[in-house]
A and B are shown apart, each in its own frame.
Chain A
């Protein structure tokens, strides 16, 4: 009696098993993801791989870190005596970043602009504040020239740096828990930890300033922080004039020098502050400043024609898509 020939079915089974086992060994690690409304925006955290606790628990832990910063700083406008503010948790560290950005941008990022910021509202139907009100508020603005009087109230506008600070703290927590890859996104402020699961660079697109839903370029990056300041996120039009939310600390009015600035660097808070300061400064001067800073790269979009220029370090890693 001839025996049944197992060769063909066994070969097929072996093939399926081999493919399955190969994918098990070389495929991307498991991803855990959640998003929550915090810090006046939507915060999304994605982590990959395995750590000392489960992925869902790690997400909860990272969100708890951000919630702690959120509860202290809220919308980022904090008012009080300078001495009291600097003694508050987080604020001293955030202001240290603010002072660094203030120096780099020659005072065009100024965290003491809060007194002016709170005069403005940016929504359909809004009106610009009266010129007298802005002038009066400007008297309290100026990190360098404001006298350090004890008991004097100041209004700090540290919303952007606070988001970056929270992302840095949450990223530290994720790494402490043993996870090696993560992407944290707080309304466009991004913190990337580790290499991209599956290999290759992280691909980060920059939204088109004038065509919602479209993108104008793409960055390919490794672990870093990315922040963008644009004139198109919060704005209103009054008497045919467009007013956006990035204010020039010299006159308290929306800065007109740029359309969008994206900064790439190590610290998320500093990137956010520099994006604001560079926006006010304008591409010509800011490009030179950015080129002089080790570890900082930037993409500038300006003018009616939406001209795009980048620092030299992005020559090979930024692709314009318009």
Chain B
């Protein structure tokens, strides 16, 4: 058996690369990112933070600032300038698909990631 030529190697590598690219293209649109919180504000800002981070975010909303703690796989609203504090009362959420929303201030935080459920009803 002779050694492969440069053309043989290029051809083989090219075909293999095409297959790998096809595989990657197909997996790109379906899966949600794992272990992140997507935080949105009424002023059209969106931030994505890892749940493995440990930080407190300040998000500007319609009424003022909402402070959100991210860490230990959870999110919680520490404070918000809304009258009823329903968002703060939600406590910590950690399950993919779960969320906290401050309607008056227009701020929401949702956990994205793999989940055994398609939705969770309250």
Contact = CB atoms under 8 A, between A and B. Distances in A.
Interface stretch (B49-57, B64-72, B92-100): B92-100
B89 interface: yes
Interface in A1-37: 1-6, 9-10, 12-13, 16-17, 19-21, 23-24, 27-28, 30-31, 35, 37
A276 interface: no
Interface residues of B, number: 45
B91 interface: yes
A50 to B, nearest CB: 12
A259 to B, nearest CB: 12
B26 A23 contact: yes
Name which of B8, B93, B95, B118 has the most chain A CB atoms within 10 A of its CB.
B118
B1 A10 contact: no
Contact of A4 (B3, B22, B103): B3
A19 B24 CA distance: 12
B78 to A, nearest CB: 14
Nearest to A215: B120
A227 B122 CA distance: 9
A5 B12 CA distance: 12
A187 B122 contact: yes
Contacts of A233: 122
Contact of B101 (A1, A37, A185, A203): A37
Contacts of B18: 17
Interface in A111-134: 121-124, 126
Interface string B79-114: 000011110011111110011010100101010000
A31 B117 contact: no
Contact of B108 (A2, A10, A35, A188): A35
Interface in B25-46: 26, 29-30, 40, 42
Contacts of A183: 118-119
B120 A230 contact: no
Contact of A213 (B26, B83, B93): B93
Given A13-B16, A204-B121, A212 B93 contact: yes
A213 B120 CA distance: 10
B40 A4 contact: no
Contact of B20 (A2, A6, A16): A16
Contact of B117 (A2, A41, A124, A204): A204
Interface string A193-227: 00010000011111100001101001000000011
- Best-surrounded residue of A27, A207, A213 (most CB of chain B within 10 A): A213
A41 B103 contact: yes
Contact of A123 (B4, B29, B40, B83): B83
B101 A41 contact: yes
Given A16-B20, A19-B23, A122 B84 contact: yes
B5 A4 contact: yes
A124 B85 contact: yes
A226 B92 contact: no
Given A27-B26, A183-B118, A188-B122, 17 more contacts: A3-B1, A4-B2, A4-B5, A13-B16, A16-B20, A20-B23, A42-B108, A122-B84, A183-B119, A188-B121, A196-B118, A204-B120, A206-B120, A206-B121, A207-B121, A215-B95, A228-B121
13 contacts: A6-B12, A17-B18, A17-B19, A20-B23, A37-B106, A41-B101, A42-B99, A122-B84, A122-B86, A196-B118, A202-B119, A206-B121, A233-B122
Interface of B: 1-5, 8, 12, 15-16, 18-20, 22-23, 26, 29-30, 40, 42, 74, 83-86, 89-95, 98-99, 101, 103, 106, 108, 110, 116-122
